[in-house]
Each structure stands twice: as C-alpha cells, then as structure tokens.
Amino acid sequence: MPGYELWSDAERKEVNDVLETGILMRYGFDGPRKGIWKAKELEEAICNSFGCKQAMLVSSGTAALTTAMSALGIGYGDEIILPSFTFVASFEAVLSVGAVPVFVDVDDTLTLDPGAVRKAITPKTKCIMPVHMCGSMADMEALQAICKEHNLLLLEDACQSIGGSYKGKKLGTIGDAGTFSFDFVKTMTCAEGGVVMTNREDVYINSDGYSDHGHDHKGIDRGADLHPFIGYNFRISELHAAVGLAQVRRLDGFLATQKKNHAVLKEILSAIPEVSFRRIPDAEGDSCTFLSWFLPTEEITRAVVTEMKARGILAGNFYWYDNNWHYIRKWDHLKNAVTLNALHPDLKSSVIHHATKDFSASDAIMGRCISTSIALSWTDEQLKTKGEQMLGVIRKVLSEQKAAV
C-alpha cells in the first residue's frame, strides 16, 4: 500500500534539489532558491493527475480537512454528517472549526449509508462528508443527490483513497472540495503532508490564505502581504513537497501493482464460500489499498483474528471493530468529549449526544469485517504464501465452528 515501500533515486533527486539551495520554505526567498519551487510543482502535478482546477498543499491530511472546512465557511453550530467508520482526524477537524460531528451508520460499502444520511439531516446540517475508507468510494451519486436536494456542501475525505475514482472522476475532485493525506503509510507519501483539491476558485483562495496565517500572496514581498482574514500555519515544506513530487510521478505504477496484488489475493480467498467481499459502488475505481472481506458472524471473525495472531500472520490484517483509531466503538475520549481546551457547553453536549447514539447497524457490519492491506513489495511467491496461510486459518476456524454445532 505505501509508496515508501518502493523508495528510489527519484525521491532522493528531488530532495537533493532542495537541499542544494538550502531554501526549505515554500514561500519567498526567490533569488537563493534558484528557480526551485517543489510545492508549486507538486500542486500543478496534482491538478494534472487528478483533474481538479486547484490544489493547495498543507502539512497533513488533518490540516487539509480543517482548511477545507474553513474555506467552505463551516463553523460554530454547523452540523457535518460523517461515517462511524473513519479515522479520528475526521472528527478532530470538525471540532477544530467549532462544528458538530454527526455520525451515522455505514453500509456494506464501509462508507456512508445514504439512507442513514437522510435521516440525520436537520436545519443545522451544512455539509455531508463521505470518507472513502480503505481505498474505495462512497455512493457518490446518492450523496450528491441528497446534497442537491437539501442545498448542502459535499466535502470528500479521500485521505485513504488516493488514485481511486467514481464513474470516471477521481475521488476528492467530485464535491465542493476534497482532501488527501500524504503521510508515511499512504499510497503516495510526502512523509507528512496533505492537500485540498477544489474546482471552486473561492475555496482555493480561502485555502491558500487560511493555511498561511491569512496571507493574500498577491505580491512578491511577503512582508507586504495583506491579511484579509485570520489564518493559521498549515504550510508544507519544500522537502516534503519534493518527496511527493517524485511519488506522484510514480503513482500509476503503484496503483497498477496494488490492483494486481489485490486481484490475486481476492481470487485466493474466493475459494471459501463463507467469505464475502465489500460492495464497491464502482469496482473499476477501487484504488485497491485494502481487500476488505466478511465472515458470516462476529464470533467466527474474532476466532479467525485470534488464530492469525497465534500463527504470527495477523500483521497487515485489520479488525477495525476493535481498533482504537478507526471505529467509533472505541472512541471513549470522544464519547466523553475529553479535550484540553474547554468546549462551549452546547458543543460539548452535542458531541456526546451524537457519539453515543445506537450504531448497531454499523456494528453488524464492522464486527464481521477484516481488511487486508495490499503491499507493493510482495513477490508473487510471498503473495501466494500469504493467501494460502489466510486460507488455512479460515478453513480451520470454519471447521471447528461446524464441529461445535
């Protein structure tokens, strides 16, 4: 899955370009940088690769979400609908702008259930935020229709699905804005970094200023920039952008390898009738970072996880139901609204209310799901061995379950 698996001289060359100038900041220092503008180059490459009009690099995927929300005018009292299965950064970003995260159930796509989204809409709802988890997409057609019907913003958290698409459009470029994370374990990495993508000029201008202390960037003298609004420091460095520039040029190769390995592993697991797979709204658009599969019951799934651990082959197989980062069941700090800074009492009560609702529909799905990360570095023999080991575990557990009945 991660681009770091296939590190090369291409990344070293781009980084060395920056080190030779000594200019690590993306803005200013026009003379000493000798024409080296890696962040600008990467933004242009992202627009060309993903088909968006504008791209604004920032320091992380979390910063990208916070910047996008602010650029879209989302703030105190607004409600953002997002899935119960996501990374904690999704709701952290919502809280950072003073908005209310309204969690709803996922369906067998492992993303937003459109029916649950409809039920969650209130007069305070301002935005729907699908999270394209584990390489694949939400039902964007259904969510776009809901947004149009209710005049809502659509913000895509595509941090885990770089290179995926939906009906010919790249994930992250379909809504009012979209975000990627370029952290160390993403398909394309900057080591740390993120980007806001948009086709709206106003969102780009707002993102450009917000991520750099409100600078308007209209002149060549940074000290003379105006500040139309208050911003923060979410800048990416030239070093991080340099890594990403090499990686985006290699992305097609990464994706081709992911898809090949994903297809092989899926074919191996398909030999077991009791194994089913995640529903993907547009199979051609799956970036294939994970193979997500289901077993008949939570009991069987837990037994498979236990047996994998006992055999030393659990690494790379994620049981999200017990995961502290990605599923709402274990987010006690959110359910109790534990923060270092004081939240407004109304916001705090809203957070607790929405985080402690009944998510039994999601539980029924996540309790049976295992996601296997797809490595880029597997040899054919390693991939075959991994699949056979997984088959052995699943067959053993299923046999024991049948014998116990």
pLDDT tens for residues 101-146? 999 999 999 999 999 999 999 999 999 999 999 999 999 999 999 9
pLDDT tens for residues 179-211? 999 999 999 999 999 999 999 999 999 999 999
Regarding whether 313 and 175 lie in a shared domain, the answer is no
CA separation for the pair 70, 207 (Å, rounded): 8
Torsion sign (Cα): 281, 284, 290, 292 = positive
Structure tokens at 282: 């547009």
Cβ-Cβ contacts under 8 Å for 261 (sequence gap 6 or more)? 288, 374, 375, 376, 378, 383
Q: Which residues are catalytic?
A: 186
Query: How many CB atoms are located within 10 Å of the residue 44 CB?
Result: 13
pLDDT confidence band for 4 (50 / 70 / 90): confident
Residue 38 lies in a domain: yes
The position carrying tokens 């003298």 is 221
Regarding whether 312 and 292 lie in a shared domain, the answer is yes
CA separation for the pair 5, 24 (Å, rounded): 25
Q: For residue 334, give Cα distances in angstroms to 90, 210, 348.
A: 12, 26, 10
Q: State which residues form the domain around 246.
A: 3-250
Radius of gyration of the chain (CA): 22
Cβ-Cβ contacts under 8 Å for 391 (sequence gap 6 or more)? 268, 269, 271, 272
Regarding whether 222 and 255 lie in a shared domain, the answer is no
Mean pLDDT of 146-163: 98
The SS3 assignment for 48 reads helix
φ, ψ at 95 (rounded to 5°): -65, -30
Number of domains in the chain: 2
Cβ-contact 146, 140 below 8 angstroms? no
What pTM did the predictor assign?
A: 0.97
Q: Is 266 exposed, middle or buried (0-12, 13-18, 19+ CB in 10 A)?
A: middle
Regarding whether 174 and 92 lie in a shared domain, the answer is yes
Domain final position from 250, 269, 292 = 250
CA separation for the pair 177, 231 (Å, rounded): 18
Regarding whether 278 and 190 lie in a shared domain, the answer is no
Regarding whether 151 and 233 lie in a shared domain, the answer is yes
CA separation for the pair 315, 174 (Å, rounded): 34
Residue 292 lies in a domain: yes
Residue 265 lies in a domain: yes
φ, ψ at 236 (rounded to 5°): -90, 150
Query: How many percent of the chain have pLDDT more than 90?
Result: 97
Mean pLDDT of 41-45: 98
pLDDT tens for residues 81-108? 999 999 999 999 999 999 999 999 999 9
For residue 157, the cross-strand partners are 131, 179
Mean pLDDT of 205-233: 95
Regarding whether 8 and 23 lie in a shared domain, the answer is yes
Residue 168 lies in a domain: yes
